Amino acid sequence: MSKIKKDLANVLIEDEILLSEDLNDSRLYFNRELSWLEFNQRVLEQAKDENHPLLERVKFLAIVQTNMDEFFMVRVAALLKQMRSGSDNIAPDGMSVEEQLSAIRSRVQQMKQDQQQCWSEQLRPQLEKHSVRFIEPDQYTPELRAYLSNYYQQGVHPVLTPLAFDPGHPFPFISSMSLNLAVVVQYGPYEKNFARIKIPDILPRFIPVPEELAGSRYGFVYLEDVIKDNLKELFPDNNVLDIYVFRVIRDTDLIIQEDEAGDLLENVDRSLKQLRYGNVSLLQVEEQMPKELLQVLMENFEIEQGRGIVTRTHTRMNFGEWFSLLKLPLPQLKDAPFKPSVLFTRDQRETIFDRIRLQDFLIHHPFESFDSVEEFISAAVKDPQVIGIKMTLYRVGSDSQIVQKLIEAAEDGKQVAVLVELKARFDEKNNIVWARRLESVGAHVVYGMLKLKTHCKLCMVIRKEGDGIRRYMHIGTGNYNPGSSKIYTDLGIFTASEQIGRDVTDVFNYLTGYSGKQNYDHLLVAPRSLRRKLEEMIDREAEVARSGKDGRIIIKANAVTHPSVIQALYRASQAGVKIDLIIRGICCLRPGLPNISENIRVRSIIGRFLEHSRLFYFQNDGSKEMYIGSADIMERNLDRRVEVLTPILEAQLRQVLMEKVLQSQLKDNQLSFELLSDGTYGRIRPEDRDEEPYNSQIAMLQAYTEASN
């Protein structure tokens, strides 16, 4: 077993049965950060998987990079803050802050090498076979070099700004995620100085080269190479001794003073302006960079020796920019396009509301189009009987048709109340813009809850009908964002249930006013009651199992980290409850331990679509219960956010979710990885189980396509 596997497991229990009665025992938990890194490794495995089309593999490589950048912006930055403050905080798995940073440093360096090897030894050579060529400087012909020199003079040189660092020039500010050149320049016979050149992000990283010069249909050179090749233009009277590429990631955790007397929107806006100056959490440098120059960077970025995270790379940095290759007109190297089915079609004989009044409707993205959600909002805006619309917005995109419709509704005199979560990470600026737009047309806008993020996905339409006021709801697992709905798997339900409607009304009163309601009749609402109810349902299954009957739990979510819920699952396993967890990302629960978690199986599904839906099933002694909603099993979701899970009240819809989602994913042997008790993930393969190959995402695509035909 490798050292990395041992690090991840934290403590291996070999040839012994864990008999600890203390469910707080650190040996029962995997480290959150290392578990996340293993998730990113599973994404990287997709880049290596030849079952995916070639450009889709490049996409996965880019996703690994953007995931890693966010990890350093948020998670590593938080650990570094703790370290600087002298915190002695110990994680549930028993690791100190310094131990976690040390393990992260080791794992990240290995993953970076794996990522670079995947590009240089697999993806790049295979792209070249398909006439997509990346040309290195030692491959430049005289004709190509002349072409690039002209390109540099015309479009690059005027944009560059070399910034010197010496007693007369302070160390230049380096923005997060920017690509930079560290240049060592000799002035005269003895004096050496340092200069920094930012690679302009307004220019394409990959410069297209004419076919006759590239020797390939699609030829590219790297922008940083072109700048390096023409540095004498920037330093004409000096000798350029060394040039090295480097990149930094900064802390982007927004620190907001949430004061009842203050204006949250203004506080967020002010904090965003300070965000660019966050502490450096990662420094990436070229492998050949000498120690003296690296020391200059570390000192000026205030990275302590042995504590900060520095990675060396022997190939290209920032694979996130490889997303642009998906624009190449090479459909044979991409996933086949598909047309999602439409839940609601326009019918002059009956409205959307007529249909929802008769029965609940499930919607499953991306297999069913997000257009149906937009049509629901659009119908509410146009319908003269609709008197009000209430909605929560978390991530909606910069060109949201839904927000435009809400603006239109407010302008038409309808009552529009919207909670726009200003603290949605990386969407703060966008949400501030939408909040101000909505306010400007008279909508009632709430910016969020003090000390809480509002993450629930709710929309309620209030309609005046012949028999009184009726409420129509959409409750979902994903954001009201048509872009993400094409690549994320998410669930939603349309309902006119009076019971659900009363609860949704109470949730909106809680969000917009001072409702102190703690318990809801049907909805599970965090942070008020969701965790307690979830644990009660888990404990109920344990009681069923203790009585000699079959206890059964299936949970599909993005992450499991909450110690209290993990302990409830351990207790249920000890009672004999059969538990399946379908967890895409982080899982701190340790399955397969005798007498503790031997009845718990954990799998992760990584494929073409990002698994994002949350679904909870409890057999309940035959009175089956199923919930969908916005919450993962994490401290932030259950204790520090407003989240909503809604029950699926109709037995027919519960059966659909069981067959099309849960059973399908438990059957998957093409996209699935199983979490083992040592913390490693093993790929589930049909040949190992004497099964026919089964891809749950393809199966769902086919099922919805057939149903729509």
Catalytic-role residue among 455, 474, 562, 612: 455
Residue 28 clears pLDDT 50, i.e. is over it: yes
> Does residue 528 sit in the same domain as residue 491?
no
Looking at the DSSP bridge assignments, the partners of residue 185 are 193, 240
Decide which of 302, 322, 342 is a domain's last residue.
322
Strand order of the sheet with strand 280-286? Answer: 163-165, 191-198, 179-187, 239-250, 280-286, 310-313
For residues 308 and 282, give the distance between their C-alpha atoms in angstroms, rounded to a whole number. Answer: 7
- For the cut 80, the answer to whether the pLDDT of residue 507 exceeds it is yes
Instruction: Output the 3-class SS for 480-533.
Output: CCCCHHHCEEEEEEEECCHHHHHHHHHHHHHHHCCCCCCCCCCCEEECCCHHHH
Is 586 inside any structural domain?
yes
Residue of 121 and 348 predicted with greater confidence: 121
Question: Among the three residues 512, 539, 560, which one is the final residue of a domain in this structure?
Answer: 512
* pLDDT above 60: residue 569: yes
**CATH assignment of the domain containing 235:** 3.30.1840.10
Residues shown for the chain: 709
Q: How far apart are CA 661 and CA 672, in angstroms?
A: 14
Of 330, 58, 336, the C-alpha closest to 218 is 330
Q: Which of 268-277, 396-405, 429-438, 542-551 has the highest mean pLDDT?
A: 542-551
Q: Is the pLDDT of residue 689 over 70?
A: yes
Q: Are residues 254 and 360 in the same domain?
A: no
Domain co-membership, 238 together with 140: yes
Asked, for residue 171, whether it belongs to a domain, the answer is yes
Same domain, residue pair 172 and 311: yes
Least trusted range by pLDDT, from 68-72, 344-348, 696-700: 344-348
User: Is residue 490 located within the same domain as residue 559?
Assistant: no
Q: Spell out a b/e string for 648-686, using b for 16 or more CB atoms within 10 Å of the CB, else e.
A: bbbeebbeebbebbbebbbebbbbbbebebbbbbeebee
Q: Is the pLDDT of residue 289 over 70?
A: yes
pLDDT of amino acid 626: 98
Is residue 542 a part of any domain in this protein? yes
Structure confidence at residue 271 as a pLDDT band (50, 70, 90): low
- Domain membership of residue 310 (yes or no) is yes
Instruction: Examine the pLDDT at 422 and tell me if it is beyond 50.
Output: yes
Report the alpha-carbon distance of residue 541 to residue 569 in Å, rounded.
10
User: Domains in the chain: how many in total?
Assistant: 3
SS3 7: helix
Asked if residue 384 and residue 294 are part of one domain, the reply reads: no
Please determine, for residue 7, whether its predicted confidence score (pLDDT) is greater than 50.
no
pLDDT class for 9, splitting at 50, 70, 90? Answer: very low
**pLDDT surpassing 60 at residue 6:** no
Residue 13 has pLDDT above 50, yes or no: no
Q: What is the mean pLDDT of residues 12-33?
A: 74
Whether residue 150 is found in the same domain as residue 200: yes
Of residues 188 and 466, which shows the higher confidence score?
466
Q: Is residue 694 part of a domain?
A: yes
Helix (H, G, I), strand (E, B) or coil at 431: helix
Is 157 an annotated catalytic residue?
Answer: no
What local confidence, expressed as pLDDT, does residue 586 receive?
98
The pLDDT assigned to 306 comes to 57
User: In terms of domains, do 508 and 535 share one?
Assistant: no
Residue 602 lies in a domain: yes
Query: Are 314 and 412 contained in the same domain?
Result: no
Supply the pLDDT for residue 334.
97
Query: Whole-prediction pTM value?
Result: 0.92
284: containing domain: 135-322
CB 95 within 8 A of CB 87: no
Query: pLDDT: is 477 or 307 the higher one?
Result: 477
State both tokens at 669. Answer: 């042997």
| 50, part of any domain | no
What CATH number is given to the structural domain containing 374? 3.30.870.10
130-144, 185-199, 409-423 — which is least confidently predicted?
A: 185-199
The verdict on 176 and 315 lying in the same domain is: yes
Give the bridge partners for 464, in sequence order.
469
* The predicted structure's pLDDT at residue 259: 56
> How far is it, in rounded angstroms, from Cα 244 to Cα 183?
7
DSSP, residue by residue, 385-447: TEEEEEEEES---SS-HHHHHHHHHHHTT-EEEEEE-TT-TT-HHHHHHHHHHHHHTT-EEE-
569 vs 515 pLDDT, higher one:
569
Mean pLDDT in residue range 28-48: 97
Asked if residue 334 belongs to a domain, the reply is no
Per-residue model confidence as pLDDT tens digits over 301-357: 988 765 678 999 888 889 999 999 999 999 999 999 999 998 877 666 788 999 999
- A 10 A CB-CB count for 243 gives 19
Please report the pLDDT score of residue 20 as a whole number: 55
Q: By three-state DSSP, how is residue 102 classified?
A: helix
**679 torsion bin: left (phi>0), alpha (psi -120 to 50), beta (else):** left
Task: State the pLDDT at residue 254.
Answer: 65
206 and 229 inside one domain: yes
Residues 247 and 298 both lie in one domain: yes
Per-residue pLDDT for 573 more than 80? Answer: yes
In this predicted structure, what is the pLDDT of residue 275?
63
Q: Kindly state the DSSP code that residue 452 receives in the 8-state scheme.
A: B
C-alpha to C-alpha distance for 114 and 465, rounded to whole angstroms: 62
Spatial contact of 377 and 396, defined as CB atoms under 8 Å apart: no
- Given a cut of 60, whether residue 670 has pLDDT beyond it is yes
